[in-house]
């Protein structure tokens, strides 16, 4: 019997990419206000995303905290512009995080679904990201919150699911994980012996060879699915 539901965050409960790019655009405007230099004017959001991703790759195994990784990325963003200014890098990091967290918009089906499910199941957040429930209007829904950055392991590693089971006091057979990533969420749940639901909002074809236990295109479909389980 399923007693516990763990939800992915980014791409499942909110559109992370949209919030991230909007916050980066605002941060770039802030940088140009501080440094109206020609080299800064050549930066764009795509370049900043690429710098952040390259930084995360280089720091893999050395740093897990996403806010510190973002700070490193802002330092590297400034360097090609000839700017070595730690105070500015810290300011940009704080500015970005403020707008990234405040810019999160829940998908329309989230509150209704969680409100219906929280009375029947233990529900929690299991995320490779760092969007905190109390900043997203979800603080009252989750009985546990597990961020991979706090443990140094990430989905699809089964170890992060074992942490969820320990916090929820459930077995693998009692856990259902819901997420938008076949590689991280579905494969990760299966690696830990748990059941999976793939949230495929875009109705994209599955060409991975990873087969979820169930597939839904809206989070609201989870309500009748859980009633059957």
Contact 177, 147 (CB under 8 A): no
The pLDDT value recorded for residue 38 is 62
Residue carrying the six token digits 């090609």: 80
Pairing of strands 4-7, 214-216: unpaired
CA distance 224 to 60: 40
CA 115 to chain centre: 21
Question: How do residues 40-94 score in pLDDT, each as one tens digit?
Answer: 888 899 999 999 999 999 999 899 999 999 999 999 999 888 888 999 999 999 9
The pLDDT value recorded for residue 40 is 81
Residue 201 burial class via C-beta count within 10 angstroms: exposed 0-12, middle 13-18, buried 19 and up: middle
CA 46 to chain centre: 19
List the structure tokens of 141: 């829904």
Contact 96, 70 (CB under 8 A): yes
The crossing angle, in degrees rounded to 10, of helices 16-34 and 86-102 is: 140
The pLDDT value recorded for residue 229 is 80
CA distance 6 to 15: 18
| pTM (2 d.p.) | 0.92
The pLDDT value recorded for residue 36 is 80
pLDDT band with cut points at 50, 70 and 90 for residue 135: confident
Question: How do residues 182-210 score in pLDDT, each as one tens digit?
Answer: 999 999 999 999 999 999 999 999 999 99
Contact 212, 187 (CB under 8 A): no
| Position 139 pLDDT exceeds 70 | yes
């Amino acid at each position: 019997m399923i007693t516990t539901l763990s939800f992915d965050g980014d791409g499942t409960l909110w559109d992370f990419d949209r919030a991230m790019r909007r916050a980066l655009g605002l941060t770039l405007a802030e940088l140009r206000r501080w440094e109206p230099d020609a080299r800064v004017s050549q930066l764009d959001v795509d370049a900043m995303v690429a710098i952040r991703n390259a930084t995360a790759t280089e720091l893999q195994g050395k740093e897990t905290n996403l806010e510190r990784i973002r700070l490193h990325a802002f330092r590297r963003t400034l360097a090609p512009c000839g700017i070595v200014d730690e105070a500015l890098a810290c300011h940009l990091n704080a500015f970005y995080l403020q707008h990234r967290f405040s810019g999160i918009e829940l998908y329309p089906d989230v509150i209704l679904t969680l409100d219906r499910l929280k009375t029947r199941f233990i529900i929690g957040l299991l995320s490779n990201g760092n969007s905190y429930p109390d900043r997203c209007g979800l603080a009252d829904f989750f009985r546990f919150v597990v961020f991979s950055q706090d443990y140094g392991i990430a989905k699809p590693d089964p170890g992060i699911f074992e942490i969820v089971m320990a916090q929820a006091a459930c077995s693998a057979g009692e856990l259902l994980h819901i997420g938008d990533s076949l590689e991280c969420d579905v494969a990760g749940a299966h690696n830990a012996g748990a059941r999976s639901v793939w949230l495929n909002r875009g109705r994209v074809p599955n060409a991975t060879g990873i087969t979820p236990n169930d597939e839904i295109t809206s989070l609201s479909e989870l309500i009748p699915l859980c009633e059957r389980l």
